[in-house]
Structure 1
């Protein structure tokens, strides 16, 4: 493994241009590997946990890129985080209790055109946020909504009343 330090440079931040480029190439493919391990959803921001994992992976990769941490241990730790995320995702499919713990429950904000103010406050959803969700759902007025839900991933979904 004597060739590795020569290729990717030292872990003290003193990299040559070619060493920085070599790290970038290695980390590019490592990032693809992490996306394959965790699955597409972790990088689409579906839940707060997915966003957290994406930030941690990105942060770890950036630290390796600039040469401030040992490469192999850092990549191993990052791969472990990706693998743990994948395992948790698989476990939540099989265990609704674990899914509730990690993702929470969807919360109803509006039912049959009636706003539930306590639910808005609890989830820090302003009237403007609610109005935006209604517009994105194709509605002009809250009275047109059958159901408005603050989903587990942080999005607001809207179901229109019939007619």
Structure 2
């Protein structure tokens, strides 16, 4: 253990450049392990819970890197957080009430060309945001939309109407 402590330096912020470099290598590998444990979804189309976990993991790794927190204790706490996140994700697949608490539900913003102004206001989606999402899907007008949904991850998905044949 003493050899490891010499490799990474003290936890009081007084590590040398070489010791900080060793920490960087260890933390890069550790961060990759955390991503593998947490699953790819955590760091892609993120729910609010995923974002919180990602921010805390990044903050913890940063504090371990700079020596602002005890190295091994910080790694242990981070791994516990990532494992709890993964467990919660697995439990939400099997228990619907927990999924309702942990994940955002999709919300219909446009149905058959008619925007739901109340739903848009509830979720802070402006008309400009909605029109931007339509343009991103090459849809010009609200009337050309069969369904637009604010997904749990915050993206607006758009299903255009089928052109009349």
Instruction: Give the TM-score category using the shorter length.
Output: over 0.9
Residue aligning to 1:82? 82
Equivalent pairs, count: 163
* Residue 150 of structure 2 is aligned to residue 144 of structure 1: no
Q: TM-score, normalised by structure 1?
A: 0.97
Match of 2:158 in 1: 158
Structure 1's unaligned 5+ residue stretches are none
CA distance in 2, matches of 1:69, 1:116: 48
Counterpart residue number, 1:51: 51
Runs of 4+ in structure 1 deviating by more than 3 angstroms, as ranges, are none
Q: Distance in 1 between matches of 2:67 and 2:137?
A: 46
Question: Which residues in structure 2 correspond to 1:10-159 (within 5 Å)?
Answer: 10-159=10-159
Contact 2:109 2:149 in 1 (8 A): yes
**Quick one: distance in 2 between partners of 1:29 and 1:54?**
16
> RMSD of the alignment, in Å?
0.9
Q: Residues 120-139 of structure 1: CA distance to partner in whole angstroms, max 9, x if unpaired? A: 10000011100011011220
SS in 1 for 2:78: helix
Post-superposition offset of 1:46: 2.4
